[in-house]
Amino acid sequence: MSNGTAVMGKMSNKKVHIRCRRCGHHAYHVREKRCAHCGFPAPKLRSYRWAKAK
């Protein structure tokens, strides 16, 4: 078992998130087709109470 920071070196292989068209964050999930930041393509903006609005 060797998880943790040591695994970070292997993370450059698969492209999981690309730049989101709506919010501009690098958070659009390629396979899920959904932005982890704003929820694109959902019409409403993704927002949670625990995530402080900024």
Residues of this chain that interact with Zn ion (CB under 5 A) are 20, 22-23, 35, 37-38, 40
Q: How far apart are CA 41 and CA 20, in angstroms?
A: 10
5's tokens: 């920071």
Place of tokens 């609005």: 53
Smallest gap from Cβ 54 to Zn ion, in A, equals 14
Smallest gap from Cβ 31 to Zn ion, in A, equals 16
37's tokens: 């930041």
Smallest gap from Cβ 49 to Zn ion, in A, equals 19
**Bridge-partner residues for 34, per DSSP?**
29
Nearer to Zn ion, 1 or 53 (CB): 53
